[in-house]
Amino acid sequence: MNETEHAEPVAGRGPRGSYAKGQARRQAIVDEALAVFSRTGFHSGSLREIAKRVGLTPAGLMHHFAGKEELFAEVLRQRDEKVRAAAGDPAEHTLVEQAEKVVAYNQSSRGLTSLYAIVSAEATDPEHPSHADFSVRYRASADNGEELLRAGQEAGEVRADIDPALAARLISAVMDGIQLQWLLDESVDMVPLFEEFVRGYLRPPTPGD
């Protein structure tokens, strides 16, 4: 038996090293794509600029992503993962608590918040590649929110005189609106604004109110 037959691959070389390097380069592309898309949106975001920022040619970038839409989809997927993590386990938090956590997280991550604001506005165009996705995402969020608000009403955590279907839509609308104001003026503090909305609209009145 040759003494080199079972030698471990050298770190950074061979298939394992190549894979890790490729994954690191792929993530670097996603990170730079986030910076570009959050500033200029999908349509104006340039693959050439993204490639240049990571030291690749456009053809080299296409080795990692088949096209602009695939890269954009990965940026959104990672953004959604981070927001879900910020919201916490739905089994452990009410809808209001989840929303409050997301608002606080969004205020700490301007790039992701800007990306969502720009792309959701762009996606109102039926020809936008994310039009159907955003329509479904808002509808699903409203349906899930309505269910959780009804559960909150039964538990006495949400005021009984609101319509859960309408309130679920309003929560998204308020979150989107205060995000836009914060993106335009960072002296705006999203957290107390959302807390005021929750206090005045969602929480049951306290004795004496």
Domain boundaries of the chain, sorted by first residue: 14-202
Give the amino acid at 82. Answer: K
Distance CA 50, CA 65 (A): 12
Of the candidates 5, 127, 177, 56, the residue with the CA atom closest to the CA atom of residue 65:
56
> Which pTM does this prediction carry?
0.78
Question: Which two tokens mark 100?
Answer: 């409050």
Amino acid in position 195: E
- Among 65-74, 85-94, 129-138, 148-157, name the one with the lowest average pLDDT: 85-94
**With 80 as the cut, is the pLDDT of residue 112 above it?**
yes
The answer to whether 182 touches 188, Cβ cutoff 8 Å, is yes
CATH for 14-202 (1.10.357.10, 3.60.40.10, 3.40.50.1220, 3.40.50.720) = 1.10.357.10
Residue 75, token pair as written in the block: 């940026």
Work out the angle between the directed axes of helices 68-87 and 14-44 (0-180°, nearest 10): 90
Buried/exposed code over 77-108 (b: 16+ C-beta within 10 A; e: otherwise) = ebbeeebeebbeeeeeebbbebbbbbbebbbe
Three-class secondary structure of residue 153 per DSSP: helix
pLDDT, position 88: 87
Give the residue-averaged pLDDT of 157-181: 96
Tens of pLDDT, residue by residue over 2-57, are: 444 444 444 444 456 677 887 898 999 999 999 999 888 888 888 999 999 999 99
pLDDT given at position 8: 42
Q: What does the alpha-carbon distance between residue 147 and residue 74 come to, in Å, rounded to a whole number?
A: 29
* First-to-final CA distance of the chain: 86
